[in-house]
Structures are given as C-alpha cells and as structure tokens.
Amino acid sequence: MEFVLSAVVSYLLGSISFSYLISKKVAGIDIRSHGSGNAGATNTLRVLGTGPAILVLLLDAIKGMAAVAFAWWISDSNTVIGALAGIFAIIGHNWPIFFQFRGGKGIATTIGVALLISPLAFIISVLLCVAVIAITRYVSLGSLVFVTAFPILLYFLTHNLPLCLVVLIITVFGFVRHYSNIRNLLAGKERKIGEKTPKDLK
C-alpha cells in the first residue's frame, strides 16, 4: 500500500511542469514550442536565460526530493520504496499528465532524487558532470555522465544491490530520453551550452 500511494503521489508531483509554468508566466510562451522543444532547465536557459533556468532547475529538483521524502515518511524510511517513488516523479516529469504527456528529460528531477538517496554519491557525480560540461560545453554529455556515475558510486558506497538495481532504471531513462542527443553527439551536431539557433530566438 505504501508503494502504491507513494507512486501515485510522486507521479502527480513530477507532472508539475515548472518549465512550462514559468515560461508562460515570464514570457507568455509554451517552452515546448521553442528551442529544442524540451520542457526542462536546459531549454529554459536557451530560450529565457539564466534566472528562469536556475528557478526551473531548483523546483524540478525539489519535486524529486519531495517524492523520495514522502515515500520514506509513509514507509518507515524504506530506501527501495524511496528510490521507486523517485522514479515515478521522473516519469511524471517526462510524461506529465497535466501537460499532454509532453515533458522534459528528467535530469533536474533525477538530481533531487539522487541527492536524498546518497548525498556523497550525488556530490561526486555532480562534480564529474560539471567537469565534463566545463570541458566539452555539452550539457547532454554531462547529464549522461551523471546518470551513469551515480549508480556505480552508490554501489561502492552502500553495497545495497536492490537499491542500486532500482536506481539503474533512472540511468536507463536518462539514456532513452537523451537518444537524440546521443545521435547528435556521435554525428558532431549537438549544440553546446550558450549556442543558439534561429529557432531558439522565436
């Protein structure tokens, strides 16, 4: 019962698209019709700038944290149920019921989930992510490094195999949602951070 309740609440929480809401409030636009068409912090940065992007990042991360915290609260701190709740928050972010199932790629929400599951694994993963972005200027590549490094570090830090196997689902989501980015990276066509196209300026 705890799992079902946490899954439903987490999905609905994840379905709150802050990128959509903030873009409507700030610029009167649907963020999904501009830039990359993705309802997330990176596209918000491209289209609306740093301030709105940071706000979206923080709010999307907070909803991931809230989902895990709620699951822990009702399940007596069951780590696996907490991680599963985080996955449902990410599913909600990616495919939000309130916004025609057109959401983001889930990285900011994943950040919030990871932070609560293991702060140390999170910090190391973030440092690796930031280093990759700083060197390559590819946010997508840094995001993929983050979702890959986190379960590996989590295993070495906790040796909790069931928890790590659940977290691997998050890694799979990250790669699935970044499929087009991976293709662009391999083809040398991926846009770097700060790079704009005429479509971004609409």
**Which pLDDT value is given to residue 196?**
58
Domain residues for the domain of 120 are 2-201
Write the CB contacts of 8 (distance below 8 Å, at least 6 apart in sequence): 88
**Which pLDDT value is given to residue 130?**
95
Angstrom distance (rounded) from CA 95 to CA 109: 13
Q: Are 4 and 75 a contacting pair, CB within 8 Å? A: no
Q: How many domains does the chain have?
A: 1
- Show the 3-state SS of 13-73: HHCCCHHHHHHHHHHCCCHHHCCCCCCCHHHHHHHHCHHHHHHHHHHHHHHHHHHHHHHHH
Buried b (16+ CB within 10 A) or exposed e, 173-194: bbeebbeebeeebeeeebbeee
What six digits make up the tokens of 144? 């993929």
Q: Are 146 and 109 a contacting pair, CB within 8 Å? A: no
Q: Are 146 and 173 a contacting pair, CB within 8 Å? A: no
Angstrom distance (rounded) from CA 46 to CA 50: 8
Q: Which helix (H) or strand (E) holds 200?
A: none
**Which pLDDT value is given to residue 28?**
93
**Splitting the chain (202 residues) into consecutive groups of 10 residues, what average pLDDT does each group show?**
92 96 93 90 90 95 96 94 96 94 91 95 96 93 94 95 94 91 91 64 41
Q: Is the whole model's pTM more than 0.75, yes or no?
A: yes
Angstrom distance (rounded) from CA 102 to CA 96: 6
